[in-house]
């Protein structure tokens, strides 16, 4: 069974002369997903983008983190872990090449969960299985590690 996703990305950065000059246009765009509020986007500030808007690199990292979290919560519930809080301080590294291209080389998820019930010894197992199940992480060609911590309430 295939699931299909649709997005419209519309460039809004024409300052009057299109892309006639590299420094003469904005990298601003709007990401539109049916039935959801528009998401203002830009490129990273290092690439002449607006730092107040979301950039594609941030969205990729957020997608990895959110996918892992959603799987973790599901698996935790099946293992009898009662998660009351979950917070991930994720980080990714993108390396640049001499020709201006680049690629992500790694990502680290640092989820911290607070449990009110269940065996904390099962948390690592839940993270491991969540990582194996995450649709996003499974689709990437770079390493994604998980360095989770747990605490009681």
pTM of the model: 0.90
Residue 142, pLDDT score: 86
Residue 55, pLDDT score: 97
Residue 143, pLDDT score: 85
- What's the pLDDT tens digit per position in 4-56? 999 999 999 999 999 999 999 999 999 999 999 999 999 999 999 999 999 99
Looking at the predicted structure, is the pLDDT value of residue 152 above 80?
A: no
Is the C-alpha dihedral spanning 28, 31, 37, 41 positive or negative?
negative
CATH of 56-152, one of 3.40.1130.10, 3.40.50.300, 3.30.300.20, 3.10.180.10: 3.30.300.20
Residue 153, pLDDT score: 74
- What's the pLDDT tens digit per position in 89-103? 999 999 999 999 999
116 burial class (0-12, 13-18, 19+ CB within 10 angstroms)?
A: exposed
Q: Where in the chain is the domain with CATH 3.30.300.20?
A: 56-152
Q: State how far Cα 1 lies from the chain centre.
A: 24
């Amino acid at each position: 069974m295939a699931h299909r996703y649709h997005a419209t990305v519309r460039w809004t950065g024409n300052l009057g002369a299109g892309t006639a000059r590299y420094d003469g246009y904005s990298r601003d765009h709007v990401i539109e997903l049916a039935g959801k509020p528009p998401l203002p986007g830009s490129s990273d500030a290092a690439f002449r983008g607006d730092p107040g808007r979301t950039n594609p690199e941030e969205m990729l990292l957020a997608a990895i983190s959110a996918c892992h979290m959603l799987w973790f919560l599901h698996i935790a519930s099946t293992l009898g872990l009662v998660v009351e809080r979950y917070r991930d301080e994720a980080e990714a590294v993108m390396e640049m090449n001499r020709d201006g291209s680049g690629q992500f080389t790694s990502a680290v998820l640092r989820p911290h969960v607070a449990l009110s019930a269940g065996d904390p010894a099962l948390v690592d197992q839940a993270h491991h299985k969540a990582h194996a199940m995450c649709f996003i992480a499974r689709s990437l060609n770079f390493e994604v590690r998980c360095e989770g911590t747990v605490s009681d309430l």
